[in-house]
Structure 1
């Protein structure tokens, strides 16, 4: 059984369902949202809205798949512990009464433990070095080099994500998003809106698909995010509420952007549209919005680097054996740090990068893996506990039809994106 409940053995502080709601919102709505307005403008507002709603629905479905698989995995862990205790204590007569309590309700977490522990993905890490676009290559290269030299060494040490860092990052994020939405609304209200987006332009669907998939991705971090929630009684409904709020926010951000700015003037990173003097007169706000991705990535980069490094260690770990010092302290940090640096120096096209990685890697992370996880967890649960066992956190999409539907959709997306790329290259 896959260890999808990896966070349950960690100690730390519990938080309420509503705090968990905020954490999930912040996890999903990251810097990826800043590439959405350009994708909306190129694909057309109606096509973009329909695809956004559909992909949001698909992401919610696979999120419930992962939560169900986590619950099943945790039930098996608890059952195995009960069985081992039974061998030591013949008087322990408890049977399968805990089988329906499928996600751990109690864990003791400390502030020094990472909120999102070991589940950051390589996709996020690769993107973290490619958030800037400057007109001149030497300047861009110099900044990336300075960034690497200053923050790269953190990969070789242990850095923990405290709640204060989470609060600071979240506060800066929401101030920036609020400023952009308000300024765009003011500009449109004053009759200065330049955007006249088409209803549909199917040539832009590939990038839109990748951006939207990327912007809904949270499945990789669900175990460490959901495990510390104190009460999980209504977790499925709360996650649904989160997705509704995220859909509303993405729509508000993107629609204000595409009607405020002409499609040709929209930047890959939306914050850069507000650095012009005619849009924002206060220098402080211009610099804050222009450097907002830098602030966010600077706080996230060391954490993501360390968690990815630890993932490498876990992937190759053999029980009972220790890594040599050179492998542990040099090899793993280097193989973590080198790939994103190479990608960062080799490309400036953020929209295409997010589109392609979202369409391929995101396709696997968000659709394929959750579908197989829930399918095999259901089979395994029946074998271990019997057909009468009820999973309290079972996905609302209980039929095998939905699992097959997700896999067919993922395969269709893979074919569509691949064909689109081939056609684009042929035209060039």
Structure 2
């Protein structure tokens, strides 16, 4: 063989190796594309993203055309390399060609291009889509035939392409995606997104103002007492009841009550005329459902009741929004917080403090699947109502009861959970 034909064969072999590298990198690049980023880029008009998205809609055809091209050029490269090796080294050239071509293809046509494509999938996949699209149209009969046989084999194995995992993210996967977003999403926004995902797992009785803390207007009080209460109220909406909180007659908005305060004489009938019809919420309603219910009913305030219709507390739209964005309103009780840190690292906590609030504020993990308040947690652990100040352990935290009144723990000292010390084993020679 003359030098010209040998040079031509080497040139063709080099070109085939480049084509093999192209197909290998295209396959990895296409499969490594972030599908959600791809959808976003396609919606914004990115042409390369649109082409790649179109090819990925039929993954079987895309893989078929890539593998057909890759196998064709690899087999042709092997044949040409064998011819060159035999002409140079004789019969021993077959083994030499096999060894050398395997190394060359492995390094330059497989590992290197696939690694680059995995690191920079968009830079590889988008330009490759210019070639893969027309190539798929040209080789479609062959691709269709190959996929026909492939589909038949999958049916024999009782595997259906519809059984493959979809692109839709589950709630937990979305939570992981948000948490792993890093600096792409500010920490505050990340907390808000995770809180929205958690709304389904939180019910209204987790965030409600408990019954014993409800401030309302008792129609059995005298008119002067009611007027003083209206003038000094810290709340914008007050439940109006008769004798007992379970007998709620309506909800009074203080904006409407200002009309009463401007009149010389008022009576309870006038108060009732300004009241709105009470809105009741079952205690087990998830927050995401209640948020929608508030929106549909154009309401911001509801009374939480149990299965027997007894009042358990009240919940507001602001309470649900604070679960998402955190505290954003001025707390009129900020001068007497429920959690007071001490110099020795302990905390004096009000018995009515919600367990979820304690966990959020202090970063603890007290159980939330049972009682909703610290008082409830203590009484459940003791399995009785303490009559004297006692000390107990709740989920690894040492709790000292400080004050008991009306069969309720009013305050307790809670110690942070102690970290386990690692024991050191010393071996002697």
TM-score, length-normalised on structure 2? 0.20
Q: 1 or 2 for the larger relative contact order (CA 8 Å, sep ≥6)?
A: 1
TM-score, length-normalised on structure 1? 0.20
> Between Structure 1 and Structure 2, which shows a larger proportion of strand residues?
2
Larger radius of gyration: 2
> Between Structure 1 and Structure 2, which shows a larger proportion of helix residues?
1
